[in-house]
Amino acid sequence: CPVCGSIRVARILYGRPAFSPDLQIAIDSGKIILGGCCKAGDDPKWQCMDCDVKVFLKQATINSKD
């Protein structure tokens, strides 16, 4: 986690996943968090399991000069 330094960071899963025993285990163990059925494009990718901060992934941009 960039805020508290914890290594307990869960991936946020969006959409309507098909529930399976493996998915339930991942949710119960804190490896996956369900983020809801709608995704806006600027949603967080991960969430810290200790301080609850949401972590976003910024896409790199390349500026070229012609």
Contact 3, 51 (CB under 8 A): yes
pLDDT tens-digit series, residues 27-48: 999 999 999 988 887 889 999 9
Contact 43, 55 (CB under 8 A): no
pLDDT at 63: 44
pLDDT at 64 over 60: no
**Which amino acid appears at position 24 of this protein?**
Q
DSSP secondary structure letter of residue 55: E
Question: DSSP 3-state assignment of 57?
Answer: coil
φ, ψ (nearest 5 deg) of residue 17: -70, 150
